[in-house]
Amino acid sequence: MPETVLDMPNSPETKESAAEATSILSAGPVAAEPGMPQWFRDGQAAAWGEFAAAPMPVRKDEAWRFANLKRVAALDSFAPADPVSGEAAAQLVKESKGLAEPCARLVFANDHLIHESDGVRELREQGVLCLPLAYALMEYGDLVEKHFMVAEVELGSAKFAALHRARVRSGTFLFVPKGVVVDRPIEVFHWASGDGAAIFPHTLIIAEENAQVAVFDHFCSAAEGEAHFACGVNDLSAETGARVTYAAAQQLSAKSSAIQINSTTVGRDAEIRQLQAQLGAGWSRTESVSHLTGPGANSLMLSAAVATAGQEIDQRTLQHHESERATSDLLYKNVLFGDARTIFAGLIQVDERAHYTDAYQKCRNLLMSDEAEANSMPGLEINADQVKCSHGATTGQISEEELFYLEARGIPPESAKRLIATGFAFEAIDRLGNPAIQDLIEALVEQRFANLAE
C-alpha cells in the first residue's frame, strides 16, 4: 500500500500500486493520501466516475472540429507516473534554470515537489501563500475549496478536466492577499520523467483586491526520447483592482501529448495578462476561457506557437463578457513548419447586458512549408449593442519583398526566413508587459528555431 506522502522536499518516495500501472484512462482515481480533506477525496472519486461516464470526443463534436481524434485515442498509451529517484530529482532541479531572479521557485517532478526556493518562506512573511497544492489542501482546505476547479469546462474537454480532478496530486497554490504586490515573478517547473508517464500539473492563482503577482509555468520532459502526457488545469482569479501576469512555456518532448485547461476570472478594474508559448509536444490542446465579471476588467490573451513536422496544436478560446465596460484582447500567432497542423477556434461572447464591451481577437498563421495546414475559426456571439468587437484571421507566408530586403543586405535566405518568423512570433510575446518573462520566452523561441535549422 502506498505510504503517506507530504508533498514536501525530501519526503519519502512512494510507488504506485501495481494495479495502477495500467493505462491512465482506466487507472481510477489517484490513491488517497491521508491528511487530504474529505471534500477533496470525495471529489476525486466522483470525478473519476464523470470521466469514465463521459464519451470520448467524436468527429461531430463542434468543440473538436478539425481535431485529429487519433491523437486523443492515443492517450490510452500513457500510464500513471512513478516518483523520480533522489538522484534523478537532483539532476532535474539542476536543470530547472529559467528566470535569472525569480522571487520564488518550485520544482515538481511527476507531480511531486522536489525543490522549493527560500523565496517561498519570504513570501509567507508578506502573507502570500505560495504552496504545493497537496500542502495547501491540508493546511488551508477551506480556502482551496472555495476556488478549486469551480469553473465549468466549456470548450470540449470536460472529460479531461474530470480526469485531471481524479488524478491531480500537486501543483501550485498561490494566494496573494489584499494590497500585496509581489514584484518579481514566481517560477514553477513541472517535469515529466519516465517513458509513458502522465502528469497532472495544477496551478491555482488568487489575487485579492489590488494585489499583484506574476507566475511563469514550465512544462518539460526529462528526456527528449521519452513520451509524456501532461493533463493540466490552471485557474486564475483577479479580484477588484488586482493584476495577474501568467506565462506558460510548453516544451514537452516531440512524442508527448498535452492538454491544458484554463479558466480566468477578471473582476472589476482588474487585469490578467497571459501568454502561452507552445514549443513542444506532438499534440497539444489548450482551452482558455476568460470571464470578465466587472466593469473595467481587462483580459489579454497571447500565444506564440512554433509547430513542426508531425505536430498538431489545437487552441480553443472564449472571451466571455459578462459585465459591461470590460475589455479583452486576444492575439495568437502560429508559425508552421513541415506538415504541422494548427487549429484555432476562438469565440467572443457578449452577454445581454454587457454594453460598452471592447473585444478583439486575432489569429495569424505563418506557413513555412507547402505541407502545413492552418485551420481558423474565429467566432463572435454578440447579444448587446453599444459594443466594439472585431476579429480577424489571416494565413499567409513570408512575402518576397521582405525576403528580398534582407537578402539585399547580405543575409542568406534561410537566416532571413528565420529572422522574419522570429519577429512574427515575438509580436505576441512583446505584448505581455513583463520584460523578464518576455526575454526568457523569446530566448526559448529562438532556441526552438535554432534547433529546427540543425
Rule CB under 8 A: which residues touch another protein? 60-62, 65-66, 352, 355, 365, 367-397
- 3-class DSSP string for the chain: CCCCCCCCCCCCCCCCCHHHCCCCCCCCCCCCCCCCCHHHHHHHHHHHHHHHHCCCCCCCCHHHCCCCHHHHHHHHHCEECCCCCHHHHHHHHHHCCCCCCCCEEEEEECCEEEEECCHHHHHHHCCCEEEEHHHHHHHCHHHHHHHCCCCCCCCCCHHHHHHHHHHCCCEEEEEECCCCECCCCEEEEEEECCCCEEECCEEEEEECCCCEEEEEEEEEECCCCCCEEEEEEEEEEECCCCEEEEEEEEECCCCCEEEEEEEEEECCCCEEEEEEEECCCCEEEEEEEEEECCCCCEEEEEEEEEECCCCEEEEEEEEEECCCCCEEEEEEEEEECCCCEEEEEEEEEECCCCCCCEEEEEEEEEECCCCCEEEEEEEEEECCCCCEEEEEEEEECCCHHHHHHHHHCCCCHHHHHHHHHHHHHHHHHCCCCCHHHHHHHHHHHHHHHHHHHC
Q: Which is nearer to another protein, 207 or 425 (CB)?
A: 425
User: At its nearest, how many Å lie between another protein and the CB of residue 337?
Assistant: 10
Q: Which is nearer to another protein, 207 or 301 (CB)?
A: 301
Question: Among all chains, which residue has been given the C-alpha cell 535549422?
Answer: 453
User: At its nearest, how many Å lie between another protein and the CB of residue 379?
Assistant: 5
Task: Single out the residue of 162, 109, 165, 169 nearest to residue 137, CA to CA.
Answer: 169
User: At its nearest, how many Å lie between another protein and the CB of residue 377?
Assistant: 5
User: At its nearest, how many Å lie between another protein and the CB of residue 336?
Assistant: 8
User: At its nearest, how many Å lie between another protein and the CB of residue 360?
Assistant: 10
User: At its nearest, how many Å lie between another protein and the CB of residue 371?
Assistant: 7
Q: Which is nearer to another protein, 49 or 392 (CB)?
A: 392
Q: For residues 106 and 191, give the distance between their C-alpha atoms in angstroms, rounded to a whole number.
A: 11
Q: Which is nearer to another protein, 102 or 346 (CB)?
A: 346
User: At its nearest, how many Å lie between another protein and the CB of residue 272?
Assistant: 23
User: At its nearest, how many Å lie between another protein and the CB of residue 370?
Assistant: 4
Q: Which is nearer to another protein, 79 or 374 (CB)?
A: 374
User: At its nearest, how many Å lie between another protein and the CB of residue 316?
Assistant: 13
Q: Which is nearer to another protein, 36 or 419 (CB)?
A: 419
The amino acid occupying position 110 is N
Q: Which is nearer to another protein, 383 or 447 (CB)?
A: 383
Q: Which is nearer to another protein, 214 or 387 (CB)?
A: 387
Q: Which is nearer to another protein, 348 or 445 (CB)?
A: 348
